[in-house]
């Protein structure tokens, strides 16, 4: 079974970086003609024609550099879209208590939240503006055990994680960040209306007679 296209393309990209490896590059392309042609967006006969030119390795090298740049740009856009979706869901999960906005831990540690090509995740809403390094969230996702009672909240002091009834805890202070951060729009606190006082039977009678109670 032949290697996947992405693996072959990666091998070719590494090969064209080597000095004096033009013959090896040609041999690799010939051995994987169909896959390379598809990756370059060309027909096999077009690629065979291009290989007859003396400067083919140089052309191929430049084309692969442009291809890598386009792939990075596409991944950056896709990562930004994914991060925005997870950030919106995380912000909507915010439940406000005295200590701050409690967050859904699964969404906080979701890989999608750190998929964008930026260095920070920023929590905004209800007077809070707290930035946490993306690297911090990546490390938490990789190394922090998923305790059954693991919880997280954010306040003016930063991001806080608690487990085992508060015996275990991690605290991360807010950091300065560039404007280009993944923003988590924290849902505003729910303001509950004050309970109305129900009138007694006598009160209703007085009200019906025009007296205020």
pLDDT digits (tens, 9 = 90+) for 106-162: 999 999 999 988 899 999 998 899 999 999 999 999 999 999 999 999 999 999 999
Instruction: Please tell me the predicted confidence (pLDDT) of residue 109.
Output: 95
Please give the residue range of the domain that contains residue 178: 95-185
Residue 191 to residue 203: CA distance in whole angstroms:
29
Tally of domains in the chain? 2
pLDDT per position as a tens digit, 57-106:
777 877 777 777 777 788 888 888 999 999 999 999 999 998 899 999 99
Q: Does residue 100 share a domain with residue 73?
A: no
158 and 116 fall within a common domain: yes
Distance separating alpha carbons of residues 29 and 12, to the nearest angstrom: 8
Residues 174 and 102 grouped into a single domain: yes
Residues 137 and 172 in one domain: yes
pLDDT for 8 equals 73
Last residue of a domain, one of 43, 78, 113: 78
72 inside domain:
yes
The predicted model scores a pTM of: 0.65
Shared-domain flag, residues 70 and 104? no
| Mean pLDDT, residues 45-62 taken together | 80
Q: How large a percentage of the chain has pLDDT more than 90?
A: 40
Closest by Cα among 123, 135, 125 to 87: 123
Tokens of 56: 């083919």
* Mean pLDDT score across all residues of the chain: 83
- Does 22 or 102 have the greater pLDDT score? 102
In a domain, 47, yes or no: yes
Residue 210, domain member (yes or no):
no
Pair (177, 100) in one structural domain: yes
Query: Does residue 90 fall inside a structural domain?
Result: no
Confidence at residue 120, expressed as pLDDT on a 0 to 100 scale: 94
Domain boundary among 78, 105, 139: 78
Residue 131 structure tokens:
């930035």
Please give the pLDDT value at position 10: 76
Q: What integer pLDDT is reported at residue 196 of this predicted model?
A: 56
In a domain, 203, yes or no: no
Mean pLDDT computed over 25-32: 81
Same domain, 65 and 104: no
Tokens of 118: 């930026």
Contact of 118 with 181, CB cutoff 8 Å: yes
Please tell me whether residues 103 and 181 are part of one structural domain. yes
Q: Which is it for strands 158-163 and 151-155: parallel, antiparallel or unpaired?
A: antiparallel
Q: Which residue, 19, 48, 78, sits at the end of a domain?
A: 78
Radius of gyration of the chain (CA): 29
**pLDDT at residue 17 in the model:** 74
| pLDDT for 182 | 94
Report the distance separating Cα 47 and Cα 34, nearest Å.
9
Predicted pLDDT of residue 121 = 95
């Amino acid at each position: 079974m032949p290697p996947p296209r992405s693996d072959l393309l990666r091998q070719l990209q590494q090969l064209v970086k080597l000095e004096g490896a033009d013959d090896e590059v040609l041999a690799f392309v010939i051995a994987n003609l169909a896959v390379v042609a598809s990756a370059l967006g060309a027909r096999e006969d077009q690629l065979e024609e291009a290989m007859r030119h003396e400067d083919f390795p140089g052309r191929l090298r430049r084309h692969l550099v442009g291809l890598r740049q386009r792939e990075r740009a596409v991944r950056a856009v896709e990562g930004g879209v994914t991060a925005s979706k997870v950030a919106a869901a995380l912000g909507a999960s915010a439940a406000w208590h005295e200590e701050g906005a409690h967050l859904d831990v699964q969404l906080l540690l979701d890989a999608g939240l750190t998929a964008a090509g930026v260095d920070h995740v920023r929590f905004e809403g209800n007077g809070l503006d707290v930035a946490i390094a993306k690297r911090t969230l990546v490390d938490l996702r990789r190394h922090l055990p998923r305790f059954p009672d693991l919880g997280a909240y954010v306040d003016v002091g930063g991001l806080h994680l608690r487990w085992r009834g508060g015996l275990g805890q991690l605290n991360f202070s807010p950091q300065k960040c560039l404007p280009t951060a993944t923003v988590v729009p924290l849902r505003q606190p729910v303001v509950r209306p004050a309970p109305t006082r129900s009138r007694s039977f006598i009160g209703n009678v007085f009200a019906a007679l025009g007296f205020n109670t």
